[in-house]
């Protein structure tokens, strides 16, 4: 299966719905002219177009889609073709109500919205295969077809009786015997022993919502079922168009907390797509955080996507201006669109694509930003911003096959752990802050322009010098073994509080905890002091005092050495940060100042400072490098509304200005970007 | 049909429920004595009395109601008779469950509460006609019957299958073809094309809740269906009592935001009633806003009601002390009841009526304020306050047929626009603040004692010198034409940000926007910068700097001249306020200081200052005028807890003190009121 | 029936679930060893063990439970045996769905959670009787069985058709005729007259939720139905084990407001248990209130439990460290476990028992604190803390049969009043603060170490010198008569605002109010001024000015004398606090400073200062006394994190240090406890 899109430049395109304008061909004419003007070289079509493709059961109409392919082809524009399963025609739900979802209390939805389908329904699966087969048959050989966009933003769940049966099958396959299942769920608690497989039911607010193992397995099942549905979708495509790669647009990083997508295990899902693509909607220009902070969070999200397959990925959607679903929908300020687009290229994106190329005239997303707004003009600010990015991507053409500089630092992130920790009735119930913790650790490296991978527990650790494993509450023996081997092989490991507590069945490691884990860190955690929001402690280390909040592990060192100690409470003076050979343990939630100091020293000691011939004066400027065989492309981005200087210490080519530079001072405009090509 | 109540003085009365006290005739005796003492000259009876009128199906008992009519008649007390449809007997719901409402998820309510009926149910409609006919037959000729009070505070909606069928009929009548409907709803978005009328369903959280056109049409349908139900109610009354006017009590203006009633289009509904009446519950004496601010909001609500039919209206309910359904239920402070009552008279009310004349002994409203409380005494503060207002109204008898001074200023308010703007997924989603914007513009005029009408898009603009059209997001071509003609005829128009964006089908005006609109204002809005709550801009105008929040239209003037400019952000120095002949455009949400300066100048230029022979020193004092053929009645009200002075510049009669005044200084007590009669 | 547990020392035990570890007998071996080490002398078993006792219908397995009894017996450990009805096996719900609850909207729950059973279901009742009978037959004669623990934390409600029928029966029995019922509910309001008993339905958000009488009766019915279910449970036990006392674990006092349990009338329920026991979970070490404040609230809750039967009670559950269901789950700080445990002993508890003795390895409470944690070690801090309390209880053995010093002060607390006041649509709707008011009044006495009973309206008042009756909104004529007699007999009474307003049917006392009430206090309340949170008034009394919030009764004295007056608003200078012979009336919600001054003087005047040969310097130290025939045991507890001194003025024995003391200064450690035995 192909692992990249067959194009010779960065893709600049987006979702396009001419099906909404079929009675206005002049609008479509004009659209294609404007595409040329803005450097749009790809259109993504067919998303949610099922009712135009199959207006009534078994009656198909591909004429309008043929026309789009023709128009695109004529001007060298590529096509990304979507399967239409993200929304179904009304006639289908009317005739086959089983295609609609059922909620956790057993109530079947009415027709409505999108993404409202049962993943199990045999009828729906059959209908999807059928339409996908026809699309593949008709368009699979079109020269400008470059990619399959499967469905749209998979998510949600169905609790219908068919899904319950699948869930029971899944459980049976996993646990084999009821005894085993009962033991793993610790079901004797509250007399919950299953005595028949038929008693299994998905979590529900009117049934069980406190069986931790069940909740976790339901998350896992929903991922598996979604992937199964996805595989049903792609089967005819793989058969008919083996050379066309397949993706589906992932989600995440949305305001206000820029949290990674929660509902599906993308680390598992990513194994089934050829290329990762995602929809990126950072809310630049918001009123509650600095551009710099949001930039770091967005960088992290891009590195998450890059790390899923450790290969370049696509931005499938982003907005050229504002969205319409934030609490406040502000457009990007001048410069921000270029800033944000090139940041994603810098992190390994091979595209800038928009939702949407042409704004709807009506319906719920009519005010979402678009390249061509309802003004249908090339004079708008957004059109100029988009055209500028189009020009940038054209100028960056030589960098198209570049890859990001290899990361030697990895942060472990695990979906099972996220779900389990979140669901654990323990600690500070409403604010475990697993993702926020990853964000804080990541930011320390972002400030230093050091590349970081965000890895799963399946990933190979061997290529990293430093692995960070924060709040790894649910940890398997197997992964602990990997960590142990990693440190034995000379790798440096940093773990934090609430770590290695339960196994994959949500059962506590008894006694002094998991042996392997204790061997790694050389300590036992005797308690975790969970602080109220009003309470704080201190960490004494590096001759400084750092603020500590939320969590303090009380540590009993075995082979570990004490590097930092607590400043307050009944465990004042006891170990807060320890080191066991290469394995560091940070037992408390510290402020960012500590993380900067700690990782700064560690990186210096490990020689991880990334070699860039540039000196910057502010963490508001970020530098990322993509590399080809013979050159480094340095993306220097100013994430602030003031001008910033950087010092260049070699000769280079300013790619966007198309001019040669000597070493010396470089000025960046507010939200400004420079791409320097430095030959080797 | 009669457009006024046939009485020769202001009505002073209220809701009265002797049906709760039939086993205590001595209580009813005492009530009527106390009515005399307090100057109560009307009782509103029969609201929610269905189970006493028809204790079992087809068995009627009117004896107790006969008695009320007799007692009232004996002391010259009028009767307002209510139809009982606001609540139904238990036996009816038990026998005909279809009379109960169904919620948006298809679940039929249990019997309970009030207002819990399907507006479509044929049985319910028939039962209502039947009881109404009997009431009309029996009481239509009673001399003291002055008005029909139809049902009670219509509101809410029903989603039962019968209502769905009516909704489909309504849709078919409106859109004629599915193609047309699909085009107007922009239904190709998310594959939502209807292929049969039967697929139409009301908005639902388990179905469609994001089809903007559907949501809006549902609002319209609910209004139409409610009016249809109302017409079913009044049919027998019109037939049997053609000389008795008909009203139903409208709602609105409730704390904390004093918002106009949201659920029904009263501008449409008002066409079907003979006289507008409403239930007014400003929360005087609250802890979170000044009395002055609340007074202006209450003034606005009264002007809304006055403007519905451009004729005097009735206060059908208000509380003489406290209510029982606010978060905090504080009684009016001494003086406030007279202050609030005469304010409403000053704005065109021809009555002061109470919920309730006699407090219930039990049930959910037992602690709501009443003229006769559970103390059943004339010694209570509330009884004295009510008696004083009774005396005031008696003294004001000569002003009974007066009308408010004609307004030359109008603010446009439109229900479709309110619903559409609120539902638009755009701008600052949770805080569009349409009504709040109207309140702010209105306040500028209230401070200057200049009368304002709150008009619908159907109203004639010809009689106004100044029309203000704020946030008119959903504007028809037709109304734009009216505005254009108005300005061509010499009228002055003020429009604000977010204006003329979509047509009545919720479809965007494409290109540079609606032609007519652009001709009026001589500009194009290229973008609207939507600010986060933490962000602000400035407006530079009149040599001053004003604070700007939330919205900034970016303006490209065509024929318009720039009058004010932005002080910050990337559009600093660009136009914020423009003028195109008589048409002003305020492109941003300013502070109140700007509105005061702007409208102050405008009114001076247009000669709109209202001529009152009074000078006041504080905006906490309000002056309103009602006029008869030969005299002006000036209502001067002190909305503060300090004494206030005003200067009178002519001779006058102090109506409430029954004394003649010469020009000079007049002192108002805290919350004090004076009514001056100034002969012409 | 026995009213005490047949043991010769304080019980130190807790919930124990070896049924979760049957496949690890070595764990159970170790548990029993550790019990010995920690001074655990009792285990509570069988809670939620139904599926292990009756793995399939009619098939029983008692072998494991036999083993627990044997093991315990071997080491002199007592057994408290639980009936298993708090959770049912899956097979039972699968075969008999009627055992599951139905919610207020008629939807039957799925199997899940615990406490999810219909209290009426004949099948469930029969199954419960059957298993209970078998337990009694098998274990009733075991020597170490000391107590029956019935079910677990009864609560919640069921709305199934069987329960509706029982509700109708209950109503019929109470009201006899529909006329009477209609009159009591004031049903003519909103046309709600019942015309058949079948129309009665429990309150529901989709039916009636505003019929105050119905809401109140539903609360009463739920209590009665729960007791009826309880009696069904205990019937076989009473028959077979007449000498074993019966209890069920009550709840209450949980964070953040330490509110008394709301759902069931424990004053009524307590009459049906032999011994009161409860689950006490004060959140020591929290971040939002001082330890002293929480200590007073916890003291109050213990006095509530003590007052239910005016006899010693049991702590059935508490956590030895942290819980897992607070928003933040912090463990007790060093010293706090002893502090909290001995506080409860000091208030009349005869046990310290834990949830749980051994932590679950999985499931929703796996992180709840336990004596034996997943570390399965005696080295943990919690194990040491528990062992220390075990040692304390052993040292206190001689005090085992002691009783608390008799209280001469009582605060009236009434469930009907709590439910009614809370449901009254009046005053400040969301913050009536009845319980908080009781807390504030109680605290004034706690600061003075004066014992207080919290009594029901059924209690005998004769033994008290001072009775406080705060916010007694719903008061029966009968209880008013008791209060009157109490004052006539020389007792001192203190009533507060919002008092004597409605009768037991939620009907207002008409006219000037209840005659008896007015005779007691010698005044009439003409209005209650309900203040917004932003507003405050003052009370002028004792030559001082105190802050007043929320409520100000306007008082017209008849025979009462004015002792304090208002400082502001239109009723400035009018009576705020009055005295009518022995009956004081506090008309407003004052600050704590006033309550301290007021009760301080009152107690001095009445000679209520409690005689303790100790002087303390801070209200952070609390002193409570338990008495045997020949000695006083003074529990002196430091509820602060600083050392505190007290002065002893006689000789005494320090029980915990086992040393003799002379009079002089004593130092308490932070959170430290001393128990002094002072012989008479």
ipTM score of the complex? 0.96
Question: How is residue C653 annotated by DSSP?
Answer: E
Return phi, psi of residue A476, to 5°: -80, 155
How large is the average pLDDT for residues B644-663?
96
**Given pLDDT bands bounded at 50, 70 and 90, which one contains residue A177?**
very high
**Given pLDDT bands bounded at 50, 70 and 90, which one contains residue B186?**
very high
CB contact (8 A) between residue A196 and residue C363: no
Q: Nearest by CB to C425, which of B90, B94, B367?
A: B367
Q: What residues of chain C, 504 to 543, have a C-beta less than 8 Å from chain B?
A: 505-513, 526-527, 529-535
In this structure, what token pair is assigned to residue C495?
Answer: 């009533």
CB contact (8 A) between residue C427 and residue B329: yes
CB contact (8 A) between residue A196 and residue C94: yes
CB contact (8 A) between residue B322 and residue C530: yes
Query: pLDDT above 90 covers what percent of chain B?
Result: 98
CB contact (8 A) between residue B191 and residue A49: yes
Place of tokens 């009602």: B626
H or E, element range at A659:
strand A659-661
CB contact (8 A) between residue B184 and residue A362: yes
CB contact (8 A) between residue B361 and residue C510: yes
CB contact (8 A) between residue A331 and residue B529: yes
Q: How far is C521 from chain B (nearest CA, A)?
A: 18
Q: How many angstroms separate the Cα of A185 from the Cα of each of A191, A383, A426, A539?
A: 12, 56, 17, 38
Catalytic residue among A54, A317, A338, A504: A317
- Which residues on chain B are in Cβ contact (under 8 Å) with C532? 286-288, 328, 330
Looking at residue B431, what is its pLDDT? 82
Using one digit for the tens of pLDDT, what is the confidence trace for C539-549?
999 999 999 99
- Which residues on chain C are in Cβ contact (under 8 Å) with A184? 362
Question: How is residue C415 annotated by DSSP?
Answer: H
CB contact (8 A) between residue A532 and residue C288: yes
Q: Where are the beta strands (DSSP E) in A544-582?
A: 544-557, 561-566, 575-580
CB contact (8 A) between residue B211 and residue A84: no
Higher pLDDT, B649 or C612: B649
Using one digit for the tens of pLDDT, what is the confidence trace for A293-344?
999 999 999 999 999 999 999 999 999 999 999 999 999 999 999 999 999 9
- Nearest Cα neighbor of B618 from B440, B446, B408 is B446
Residue C538 near residue C589, CB atoms below 8 Å: no
Q: How far is C434 from chain B (nearest CA, A)?
A: 16
Place of tokens 């602060």: C640
Strand partners, C454: C411
Looking at residue C542, what is its pLDDT? 98
Q: How many angstroms separate the Cα of A518 from the Cα of each of A28, A521, B210, B429, C377?
A: 65, 5, 54, 51, 17
Distance of alpha carbon A396 from alpha carbon A393, whole angstroms: 5
Using one digit for the tens of pLDDT, what is the confidence trace for B476-518?
999 999 999 999 999 999 999 999 999 999 999 999 999 999 9
- Nearest Cα neighbor of C598 from C577, C573, C615, C582 is C577
- Best mutation target among A328, A334, A365 (most B Cβ atoms within 10 Å) is A328
CA C426 to chain centre: 27
- Which residues on chain A are in Cβ contact (under 8 Å) with C326? 429
Residue C363 near residue A190, CB atoms below 8 Å: yes
**Given pLDDT bands bounded at 50, 70 and 90, which one contains residue B1?**
confident
- A194 and chain C in contact, CB less than 8 A: yes
- C205 and chain B in contact, CB less than 8 A: no
Query: pLDDT above 70 covers what percent of chain B?
Result: 100
- Nearest Cα neighbor of B548 from B584, B602, B585, B594 is B594
CB contact (8 A) between residue A527 and residue C331: yes
Q: At what angle do helices B592-606 and B434-447 cross, to 10 degrees?
A: 50
Q: Nearest by CB to A191, which of C84, C110, C362?
A: C84
Place of tokens 């001095």: C604
CB contact (8 A) between residue C50 and residue A212: no
Instruction: Please state whether beta strands B673-679 and B631-638 pair in parallel, antiparallel, or not at all (unpaired).
Output: antiparallel
Q: At what angle do helices B291-309 and B336-346 cross, to 10 degrees?
A: 30
**Considering only alpha carbons, which residue of chain B is nearest residue A359?**
B508
Neighbours of chain A (3+ CB pairs under 8 A): B, C
End-to-end CA distance of chain C: 33
Q: How far is C324 from chain A (nearest CA, A)?
A: 5
Positions of chain C with pLDDT lower than 70, given as ranges: none
Q: How many angstroms separate the Cα of A630 from the Cα of each of A242, B457, C312?
A: 32, 69, 86
Q: How many angstroms separate the Cα of A500 from the Cα of each of A496, A512, B187?
A: 10, 11, 52
Q: What residues of chain C, 371 to 390, have a C-beta less than 8 Å from chain A?
A: 374-377, 380-381
In this structure, what token pair is assigned to residue C185?
Answer: 């509910």
Angle at A502 between CA A498 and CA A506, to 5 degrees: 130
- Nearest Cα neighbor of B143 from B79, B84, B81, B61 is B79
State yes or no: pLDDT of B610 exceeds 90. no
Instruction: Please state whether beta strands B644-648 and B614-616 pair in parallel, antiparallel, or not at all (unpaired).
Output: antiparallel
Active centre residues of B (catalytic): 153, 317
- Cis ω before A356 (30° cut-off from 0): yes
Looking at residue C611, what is its pLDDT? 79
CB contact (8 A) between residue B51 and residue C184: no
- B28 and chain C in contact, CB less than 8 A: no
How large is the average pLDDT for residues A543-565?
98
Q: At what angle do helices C415-423 and C212-240 cross, to 10 degrees?
A: 150
Place of tokens 């009552």: B341
- Nearest Cα neighbor of C638 from C675, C603, C593, C678 is C675
Looking at residue B414, what is its pLDDT? 98
Using one digit for the tens of pLDDT, what is the confidence trace for B400-440?
999 999 999 999 999 999 999 999 999 998 889 999 999 99
**Considering only alpha carbons, which residue of chain A is nearest residue B210?**
A364
Q: Is residue A547 classed exposed, middle or buried when 0-12, 13-18 and 19+ CB atoms within 10 A define those classes?
A: middle
* Interior/surface letters B612-622, b for 16+ CB within 10 angstroms, e for the rest: bebebeebbbb
| Residue C29 neighbours by CB under 8 Å, 6+ apart | none
Q: What residues of chain C, 330 to 369, have a C-beta less than 8 Å from chain A?
A: 330-331, 333-334, 359-368
Helix, coil or strand: residue A480: helix
Helix, coil or strand: residue A63: helix
Q: Where are the beta strands (DSSP E) in A392-447?
A: 403-404, 409-412
- C75 and chain B in contact, CB less than 8 A: no
Angle at A490 between CA A486 and CA A493, to 5 degrees: 55
- B88 and chain C in contact, CB less than 8 A: yes
Angle at C396 between CA C391 and CA C398, to 5 degrees: 140
Q: At what angle do helices B381-395 and B25-38 cross, to 10 degrees?
A: 50
Question: How is residue C108 annotated by DSSP?
Answer: B
State yes or no: pLDDT of A1 exceeds 80. no
Q: Nearest by CB to A191, which of C87, C286, C325?
A: C87
Q: How far is C648 from chain B (nearest CA, A)?
A: 50
CA B426 to chain centre: 27
Distance of alpha carbon C65 from alpha carbon C72, whole angstroms: 11
Query: What is the longest distance spanned by two Cα atoms in chain B?
Result: 77
Looking at residue A609, what is its pLDDT? 81
Q: Nearest by CB to B48, which of C191, C508, C534?
A: C191
**Considering only alpha carbons, which residue of chain A is nearest residue B531?**
A330
**Given pLDDT bands bounded at 50, 70 and 90, which one contains residue A611?**
confident
What count of residues does chain C have?
Answer: 680
- Which residues on chain A are in Cβ contact (under 8 Å) with C286? 532
DSSP B193-233: --SSGGG-----TTS----HHHHHHHHHHHHHHHHHHHHHH
How large is the average pLDDT for residues B158-173?
98
Q: How far is A527 from chain C (nearest CA, A)?
A: 9
State yes or no: pLDDT of B387 exceeds 80. yes
**Considering only alpha carbons, which residue of chain A is nearest residue B427?**
A329
Annotation marks residue A317 as catalytic: yes
Q: What residues of chain B, 402 to 431, have a C-beta less than 8 Å from chain A?
A: 424-430
């Amino acid at each position: 299966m192909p692992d990249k899109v067959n194009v010779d430049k960065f893709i600049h395109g987006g979702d396009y719905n001419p099906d909404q304008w079929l009675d206005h061909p002049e609008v479509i004419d004009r659209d294609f002219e404007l595409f040329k003007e803005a450097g749009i070289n790809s259109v993504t079509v067919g998303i949610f177009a099922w009712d135009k493709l199959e207006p009534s059961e078994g009656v198909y109409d591909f004429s309008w889609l043929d026309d789009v392919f023709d128009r695109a082809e004529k001007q060298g524009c590529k096509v990304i073709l979507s399967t239409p399963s993200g929304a179904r025609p009304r006639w289908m739900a009317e005739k086959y109500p089983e295609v609609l979802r059922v909620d956790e209390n057993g109530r079947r939805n009415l027709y409505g919205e999108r993404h409202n389908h049962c993943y199990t329904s045999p009828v729906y699966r059959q209908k999807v295969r059928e339409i996908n087969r026809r699309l593949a048959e008709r368009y699979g050989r079109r020269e400008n077809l470059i990619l399959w966009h499967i469905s749209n933003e998979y998510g949600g769940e169905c609790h219908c009786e068919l899904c319950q049966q699948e869930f029971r099958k899944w459980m049976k396959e996993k646990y084999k015997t009821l005894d085993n299942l009962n033991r793993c769920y610790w079901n004797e608690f509250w007399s919950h022993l299953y005595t028949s497989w038929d008693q299994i039911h998905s979590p529900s607010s009117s049934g069980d919502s406190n069986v931790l193992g069940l909740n976790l397995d339901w998350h896992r099942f929903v991922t598996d079922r979604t992937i199964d549905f996805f595989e049903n979708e792609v089967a005819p495509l793989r058969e008919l168009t083996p050379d066309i790669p397949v993706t589906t647009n992932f989600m995440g990083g949305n305001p206000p907390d820029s949290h990674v997508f929660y509902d599906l295990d993308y680390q598992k899902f990513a194994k089934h797509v050829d290329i990762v693509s995602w929809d990126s909607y950072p809310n630049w220009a918001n009123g509650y955080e600095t551009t710099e902070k949001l930039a770091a969070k967005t960088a992290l999200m891009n590195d998450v996507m890059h790390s899923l397959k450790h290969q370049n990925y696509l931005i499938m959607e982003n907005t050229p201006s504002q969205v319409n679903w934030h609490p406040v929908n502000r457009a990007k300020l001048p410069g921000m669109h270029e800033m944000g687009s090139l940041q994603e290229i810098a992190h390994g994106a091979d595209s800038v694509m928009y939702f949407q190329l042409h704004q709807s005239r009506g319906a719920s997303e009519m005010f979402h930003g678009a390249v061509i707004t309802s003004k249908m003009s090339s004079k708008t600010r957004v059109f100029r911003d988009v055209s500028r990015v189009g020009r940038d991507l054209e100028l960056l053409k030589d960098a198209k096959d570049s890859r990001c500089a290899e990361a030697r630092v990895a942060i472990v992130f695990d979906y099972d752990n996220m779900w389990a920790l979140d669901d654990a009735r323990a600690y500070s119930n409403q604010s475990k802050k697993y993702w926020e913790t990853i964000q804080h650790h990541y930011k320390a490296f972002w400030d230093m322009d050091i590349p970081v991978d965000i890895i799963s527990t399946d990933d190979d650790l061997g290529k990293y010098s430093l692995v960070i494993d924060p709040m790894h509450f649910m940890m398997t023996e197997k992964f602990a073994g990997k960590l142990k081997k990693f440190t034995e092989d000379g790798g440096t490991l940093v773990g934090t509080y609430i770590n290695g507590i339960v196994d994959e069945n949500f059962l506590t490691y008894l006694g002094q905890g998991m042996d392997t884990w204790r061997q790694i860190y050389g300590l036992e955690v005797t308690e975790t002091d969970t602080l109220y929001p009003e309470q704080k402690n201190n960490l004494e280390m590096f001759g400084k005092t750092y603020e500590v909040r939320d969590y303090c592990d009380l540590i009993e060192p075995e082979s570990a050495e004490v590097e930092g100690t607590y400043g307050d409470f009944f465990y004042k003076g006891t170990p807060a940060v320890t080191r066991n050979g290469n394995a560091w343990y940070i037992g408390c939630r510290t402020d960012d100042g500590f993380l900067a100091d700690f990782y700064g020293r560690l990186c210096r000691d490990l020689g991880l400072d990334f070699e860039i011939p540039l000196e910057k004066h502010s963490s508001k400027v970020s530098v990322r490098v993509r590399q080809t065989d013979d050159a480094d492309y340095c993306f220097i981005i100013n994430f602030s509304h003031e001008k910033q200087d950087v010092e260049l210490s070699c000769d280079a080519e300013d790619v966007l200005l198309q001019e040669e530079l000597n070493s010396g001072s470089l000025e960046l405009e507010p939200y400004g970007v420079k791409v320097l090509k430095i030959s080797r």
